[in-house]
Structure 1
Amino acid sequence: MYTDSPRLKSPNTKKTPVMYSANAMLMTEVKRELKKDAEPDFL
């Protein structure tokens, strides 16, 4: 059963892992900065 989800029908399927990986790293950096500011001792 297939849906119309852009994730499943993306024409850039081969690029997706690389983009996801870069995005995940960026989000990790952002979260690290937010944690530093908001909760200095949150691990």
Structure 2
Amino acid sequence: PHRLDEIAEFFKTYKNLEKKVTEILGWKNVDQVQSLIDQCVAAAK
């Protein structure tokens, strides 16, 4: 999980530079992510 820690730190730092707060709630597997993407696309239509 070192790579996941690096990714989380990247987003925290990136948003901090914009004076925004980022909260990492956890990580999902590829199937859960695809389902979430599909839901977001459907909601955007």
- Which range, TM-score by smaller chain? 0.3 to 0.5
Q: Which of these two proteins has the greater Rg computed from alpha carbons?
A: 1
Query: TM-score scaled by structure 1?
Result: 0.43
Write 1 or 2 for the structure with the bigger share of helix.
Answer: 2
TM-score by length of 2: 0.41
